[in-house]
Amino acid sequence: MKKKIPVASASLIGNEKKYVMDCLKSTYISSVGEYVEKFEKKFACFCKSKYAISCSNGTVALHLALLAFDVKPEDEIIVPALTYISTVNAITYCGAKPVFVDSEPDTWNIDAELIEQKITSRTKGIIVVHLYGHPVDMDKILKIAKRHSLFVIEDAAEAHGSKYKNRIVGSIGDIGTFSFFGNKIITTGEGGMIVANSAELANKIRILKGQGMDPNRRYWFSVIGYNYRMTNIQAAIGLAQLEKINYHLRKRRQVANWYYKYLRDFSEYISLPVEKKLVRHVYWMFNISLKKNVTLERDSLIELLYKKGIETRPIFYPAHIMPPYKEKDLYLPVAEKISKRSLSLPTHANLSENDIKFICKTLKGTILNKSQ
């Protein structure tokens, strides 16, 4: 039977089992238990933020962040078109309007130079996404936000440990949000986290995620809240993962370096990821783009690689071309080109150098065979 190399795979090499068994023995398996607080405190420390509030997933983290800023119908939120759909959906949950901005051609992140032309009297904030683990140029974003009195939310779902000018992303804007889905750099299976330095915002988020219950008066609900809590078992897994965060980050860097090693001589056919100066890319996924002289369609390449035992995946479709958000005559050329011609190669801590050599050899052979 042919070996299958998955595009993503969780690496559970620490105290995950020990901590989960501790939860089971204690019977604290729901959202009450010591691991929730331990995970939050350790994650805040990791991000160098004052507060960290756990929640049930990364989409919920974004929703809570927007609610903390009282985002309402008729408000507009600036957002990159090229992102996973949850970034945009969270805006819609509030009844607000996402306003789409095109991407930088090299980092694929939101193009800060295009933001101000999208700002109106209804604009309330900016969500930036550190896409696939490369930091956004936060200095430019923060200057724009200050000039127009806007909040900044960092969607760092794909960027645990990524750095911008030696600062952990998520801790630079007003609020940062993270996902711990099973394919992320560290995981809780499902789960999310919000980080902030404002006590007011942190307290508001804690109340909102727990059904709106007054923290000083049990079963008294002063606002409409949500059941967005993380379980003690999820937090136990997250704590164990976080204890090994440096290992996970080193492995991603090693995998990326192997890809550069075996693909840099193939630049006639593909573009490789960039890493700008003064940042640390964490390579949640190692992505390539097919150049013009590759006649093979991206989706056909994905199918052919899968038949040879290599699972890959397409880059996110830009939100503005999908049915719920499609806008007539809105054309964002960079995001659309990236989405059409790019794919993610297997990227996770369980890969060996031999795996990467096989992936790269197969990728090259498939492209050359179909492009001649």
Does 198 share its domain with 251?
no
**Residues 167 and 86 placed together within one structural domain of the fold:** yes
Does the reported pTM lie above 0.75?
A: yes
What pLDDT sits at residue 52?
A: 98
What are the φ/ψ torsions at residue 255 (nearest 5 degrees)? -60, -45
Do 180 and 315 share a domain, yes or no?
no
pLDDT in tens, 150-204: 999 999 999 999 999 999 999 999 999 999 999 999 999 999 999 999 999 999 9
Task: With a cut of 50, say whether residue 334 has pLDDT above it.
Answer: yes
Residues 207 and 280 placed together within one structural domain of the fold: no
Task: Give yes or no: residues 279 and 145 share one domain.
Answer: no
Same domain (yes/no): 122, 189 = yes
The reply to whether 319 falls in a domain is: yes
Of 223, 243, 263, which residue sits at a domain end? 243
What's the pLDDT tens digit per position in 73-107? 999 999 999 999 999 999 999 999 999 999 999 99
Q: Has residue 351 got a pLDDT over 70?
A: yes
Q: What is the pLDDT of residues 204-219, one digit of tens each?
A: 999 999 999 999 999 9
Helix axes 199-209 and 58-68, enclosed angle (nearest 10):
120
Q: What is the dihedral of CA 268, 105, 285, 270, to 10 degrees?
A: -10
- Domain membership of residue 8 (yes or no) is no
Residue that is last in its domain, among 224, 243, 262: 243
pLDDT more than 70, % of the chain: 99
Domain count, the chain: 2
Which of 243, 266, 292 delimits the end of a domain? 243
Q: Which residue range forms the structural domain that includes residue 187?
A: 16-243
Does the residue 293 lie in any domain? yes
**Residue 1 predicted with pLDDT over 50:** no
What is the C-alpha to C-alpha distance for residues 370 and 337, in angstroms, rounded to an integer?
A: 21
SS3 (DSSP) at 118: helix
Residue 328's pLDDT is 84
Taking residues 246-275, what's their average pLDDT? 98
The two structure tokens encoding residue 308: 């040879």
Q: Is the pLDDT of residue 233 over 90?
A: yes
